[in-house]
Structure 1
Amino acid sequence: MPLLKRSTFSLLEPPENLDPNEDVFQIRFTNEIFRDYQEYLNRLNLYRQKVWSCELSGKSNLTYEEALVCEQQAGVKARLLPKELIAPVLRMIHYSTLSFTDLLEEVYSSLRLDLSEGLELHAKKDGSEAACKILEVIGSGGTKLYEVGWLGQDNEVINTSVVKADDLICKKAPASRSLLKLFIRDSTSKRSPWIVNADLAKKYGIDTEPPEDIMNDEGLYKGRKRFAYGEDASKKFKKDEKLVELPVKYPIDDLLVKLAADDPVFSKRPPLSRDFRVPVDSVGDLLVVWDFCLSFGRLLCLSPFSLSDLENAICSKESNLVLLVEIHAALFHLLNKDEGAYFSFLLNKKRTLKVTLVTWAEYLCNYLEMIRKEEFFSKVSTIRRGHYGLLDSGVKLKILRELVEEAITTSAVRQKLSEWIDQQQALVAAKREDARKNREEQKLKKEGVGENGINHTDTIQNDSECPKNQCGGREQKDLNILLSRNTGDGKIFVRKHLENEMEQQSLRPSHLGKDRLYNRYWFFRHEGRLFVESADSKEWGYYGTKEELDALLGTLNIKGVRERALKRQLIKSYDKIRCSISLYVHAVLIIQRTPWIDGW
């Protein structure tokens, strides 16, 4: 068992009268059970402190679980001691009164000098060295003879002979000190004197009766007293019991957080809206396709459209809706222009490369035949007959998701991503330069130099000489001009400009964070809703009003690491999210009040 500051540590017994249906708290790696949550947290906090050590290897500064793993690995290594050495080593250990260091050295030296039966080594035979195995030790003292069996190619004894001790060649000790150290600690249950474990003593025939000098309390090791075993260890632990009562340091894992008396009153989390027209498990595909089309709209030659427009088009039963035809045609044009696998597939079929309102469905069938996915095989005939609109909306989105993932691999998209990365790096460098100048100005103000003492011309010149600002282009020149402004309003404008540019040049959206149950929260700049994705990505929902956003913020507990980070990001983006939600609500009201006209 792991040692607490080199002292034994006893695990707690299960609570009395435990009901099988009772809710309890259990520590995974010790299986200890607690009724009280605070006691559970205190004990878990103790196990997470680096005050534990491995009983076998002696490694310290570990957590309890790390010490447990270390002991398991050390126990495996301790069992690597050759079988023929186990019994002699146990006899030397049992009831020895030496210190650990002296005992280790005595065992190691004895193994080098006293060769035991079963040991494989080399011996002199007819003027040369040959491999052999000691079969029997004959005699004792300085007149020892050894009956050895000479080993053949398959390590089998070919013949036997008797040799002198001087003829045996032992190039190295049968076991290393590190291996013996692990074996001694693993095979004993008590020290001073050392006592071999009862099961090993019985297995190897070790006499369990203590010698007379031990019975008379003579010859015991009088070295430095250690609290490793016995009552002294339990007394020492009482001094360390304050470790168990240490207060919990927040933030911790959200699932371990328990409300305290001084915590604020958390409101109930508002329910998610799930009024999607597409299946709930397909909302992720819908968002991926929509975000890709908006992000690469110029490259695809697509006009912007809303998420609701795409959702309505996907759920429509019409087969040639303009929006879907344009999306498919734009993706096929991109794949053909890249001259990749799809381009080669069309050339083999001798198809023309022009996608039209009439031929787009045939090109879609060719693509599904090329990727050879079983879930789409049965849909090819339906699309070819002109009944694309009859497909399930989930299947339509899966097909579009496949096309989008294929489009991402094209050279045109990769080149666009590289341009955005360069722009991102230039913006970050500009923002860093702005921060540096602010620090310098603050330093000059503290030293008594006003803003009028700063040479504006030198500032602009230094910016133009900065390697990171030599990217060229109109945008970079504008940034350099902006960075040269030293007025208060100019500084605020520069910071907001850089933040807006970095947001617009974002390569892909990333979730704002996760709540205690690992649900992910997504916000898209062009959609006025805060989307929530379940931990398994099978369910989606959203918050679409300012009241729901405020209520969500009131439910997040900053004592948990995930909800703390999520709340920080929501507060940071609060104004943008609130503005987008207001525009979304306004647009929904306009749509609801607009009468439906046939043909729209």
Structure 2
Amino acid sequence: MPLFKRKPFSLLEAPKDLDPKEQVFQIRFTKEIFQDYKDYINRLNLYRQRVWTCKISGKSNLTFEEALVSEHHAVAKAQKLPTELMAPVLRMIQYSTLGLYELVNKIYDVLQEDVFEGLELYAKQDGLEASCRILKILESDGTKMYEVGWLHRDKTVINMSVIKAADLIRRRAPVSRNTLKIFIRDATSQNAPWIIHENLAKRYGISIEPPNDMMLGEGLQKKGRKRHEDGPAGDAIKKLKNDEEHAYAPIKYPIDDLLVRPADDLVFSKRPPLSTDFRVPRYSVGDLFMVWDFCLSFGRVLNLSPFSLADLENAICHKESNVLLVEIHGAIFHLLIKDEGDYFTVLQNKKRKLKQVTLVTWTEYLCDFLEMTKMDELSNNIATVRKGYYSLIDTDVKLKILRELVDDAITTYPIREKLSEWADQRQALAATKRESTRKAKEEQNSNMGEVKGGNESVDDQSKGKEEKDTCNISRSKTEGKRNGAQHLETEIEKLSICSSPIGKDRHYNRYWFFRREGRLFVESADSREWGYYSTKEELDALMSSLNIKGIRERALKRQLDKLYIKISNVLEKRSKEITNKLLLEEAVLRRSTRVRAQPRDNPSMAFLKYVNKWKDN
């Protein structure tokens, strides 16, 4: 199992009493099951962070899945250790207190010098080198002799003989140091001292009881025995202390937000709750924004005058056809026909007269488009639209239809041409801004030099007056240039090609601010939930709740600081407008019943009075 920040990590147990019909979420490589999607996403994001370490090979800076693959390869490599070496190597590992690299070097040196039964190597046979296997070690009168079996190419023994130690040829150790390192990590359950797995000990007849007497630097020390400050044991103790100090080293922030410890969040204020009083389903709010932003951004191309987000939302939810929806559909249909693309071809094949889209004929064009999409979810509503019951279609389906229309409209030539024009204008404005900034710096440097040189040739009174006049002139110039820079930034912002979120919080929720809408919107990581903040107090509470120790919330905090004045002004303006409307309505209600006042219009029905002032008649 991979290590989390070099510490053991446990997987979650499967939930109990799961309903067989319940929808759950499972992580592919851990088989963990989650009932809540947010918990699933948070866990998956944690596994994607490069904070995992392969337990066997020691490789770090990996994702969880990469660490699993590394462990799989390491286990396969550890199994390359010859079977005949397993027992002697495990005996050298058991209860050794050497560090990993010292133990690897010791075993490597022993394998390079010593000979074991079953070991395959080379030896001299009739003056020639041949491959052989040690079958038995013979010892008489202090002299070692070896009974070997000479090997064929297929590793079968074809002949046996007894040779001297001098006839053996050791070219290199039978295994590499890296293989030994991986094998030690895979075969042990703990280190300091190293203890091999119990099943391996039983298989190869190795004692699991700690020995009573140990060599210096190996095994366990007796109770009360004096510790050696020098030698391998002392080095191991020092290494252990260094590891402990490293484990408690201070964390360098920022880090991934999900890794910030909960205790660090106690100093932050509670995040304000989101308002979610949308009329459309929350999972369709993204489509609502997409359609609204497209219509306002390309209103001149579509010949469609602006309207508010609330008007579009109310029009979508209205149970009857209304002029705003007809104008939106008609504007996009005209654009698709003008582009002479697939939709234009469909109309020609049907010999449809390309007449003006009106409140009566717009459903015909809509049915043709739904047939062209070949999407069952949308085309299933063709019969309903043809019967004149468009208003009975579900709100989310209406928005999906508009989304498909917008997707097709974006690919048309007029839109692409407009995008190219805006891109060129943005580049020109950016170049102008850079040039003005450069000139401002040059003038500032030259003014400083003039003031310094002129002050040397005047008396104190004229000197003070000159400094004051110079400061006033430079201040007025600076203010003028600052206003010019702000104007350029405003123009560049107006030419923004697409809207993008200003940042994300620790749970990957995206934050959106539209310059035409006086609210700060929040989109969940899976885009299924939306909410918003509508007051300056909520904005302040949000900013004070962000933890800058996390990477995402630090970036979000910086963007909110940068846009704070703009966002807070818009929020306050919207709050004042709502307050004034409420006060005005209360004043009307308090009027004397003797005065017959005209009934006020319902703001939620304002879309019914929409007039397309940019329509090309």
| Contact 1:137-1:147 at 8 Å conserved across structures | no
Shift of the 550–332 alpha-carbon distance from structure 1 to 2, 3 Å rule, reads same
Question: After superposition, what is the alpha-carbon deviation per residue over 1:283-313, rounded to whole angstroms, capped at 9, x for unaligned?
Answer: 2221110100111112222122222222232
Aligned partner of residue 509 in structure 1, secondary structure: coil
Q: CA deviation at 1:562?
A: 4.8
Of residues 290, 293, 296, the one that matches 2:292 is 290
Correspondence 1:517-596 to 2 at 5 A: 518-546=508-536, 548-549=538-539, 552-553=542-543, 562-581=552-571, 584=574, 595-596=600-601
What residue identity is the alignment partner of 2:118?
Answer: S
CA change 1:303–1:258 in 2 (3 A) is same
Q: Residues 107 and 182 of structure 1: is their aligned pair in 2 closer, same or farther, counting only changes over 3 Å?
A: farther
Q: Secondary structure at the match of 1:526?
A: coil
Report the alpha carbon displacement of residue 227 of structure 1 after superposing the two structures with TM.
4.8
Deviation at 1:75, TM superposition (A): 4.9
Aligned-residue offset at 1:507 = 1.6
Aligned-pair CA distance for 1:10? 10
- 1:379-398 alignment, distance < 5 Å: 379-398=381-400
Q: How does 1:240-389 map to 2 (within 5 A)?
A: 240=245, 243=248, 253=257, 256=261, 258=263, 263=267, 266=269, 269=272, 272=275, 274=277, 276-319=278-321, 321-354=322-355, 356-357=357-358, 358-389=360-391
Deviations 1:333-385 (A, max 9, x none): 33334444434444444444555224432222222222222222331100112
The residue that corresponds to 1:26 in the other structure is none
Partner of 2:430: 428
- 1:539 counterpart letter in structure 2: E
Aligned mates of 1:270, 1:59 — CA distance in 2: 43
Equivalent residue letter for 1:329: G
Structure 1: any 5+ residue segments left out of the alignment? 12-28, 30-47, 152-156, 453-484
The structure 2 residue matched to 1:161, chosen from 154, 158, 162, is 158
Contact persistence 2:536–2:571 (CA under 8 A) = yes
| 1:415 to 1:101, Cα distance in 2 relative to 1, 3 A | same
Distance 2:152 2:519 in 1: 84
Deviation at 1:495, TM superposition (A): 0.9
Structure 2 match to 1:413: 415
Structure 2 segments unaligned to the other structure (5+ residues): 10-29, 31-48, 139-143, 220-229, 455-474, 589-598, 610-617
With normalisation by structure 2, the TM-score equals 0.63
User: Are 2:136 and 2:147, in contact at CA under 8 Å, matched by a contact in 1?
Assistant: yes
Cα distance in 1, alignment partners of residues 548 and 196 from structure 2:
53
The 1:404/1:169 distance shift into structure 2, 3 A limit, reads farther
Residue 86 of structure 2 is matched in structure 1 by 87
Maintained 8 Å contact 1:545/1:581: yes
Deviations 1:253-272 (A, max 9, x none): 387454789x58x4773662
- Partners of 1:398 and 1:351 in 2: how far apart? 25
Assess if the C-alpha contact under 8 Å between 1:150 and 1:160 holds in 2.
no
Q: What amino acid is the match of 1:272?
A: S
Please list, as runs of the form range in 1=range in 2, the aligned pairs for 1:429-578 lying within 5 A after superposition: 429-444=431-446, 487-515=477-505, 518-546=508-536, 548-549=538-539, 552-553=542-543, 562-578=552-568
TM-score by length of 1: 0.65
SS of structure 1 residue aligned to 2:135: strand
Aligned to 2:39: none
Offset at 1:110? 5.5
Give me the whole-angstrom Cα distance separating, in 2, the residues matched to 1:338 and 1:327: 17
CA distance 1:553–1:185, shift in 2 (3 Å): closer
Aligned amino acid, residue 479 of structure 2: D
- CA shift digits 1:175-223 (9 cap, x unpaired): 3332133324544679999875553232123477999xx9485897984
CA RMSD of aligned residues (A): 5.5
Q: Matched residue pairs, number?
A: 505
Structure 1: distance between partners of 2:493 and 2:59: 49
Residue type of the alignment partner of 2:373: I
Distance 2:216 2:263 in 1: 56
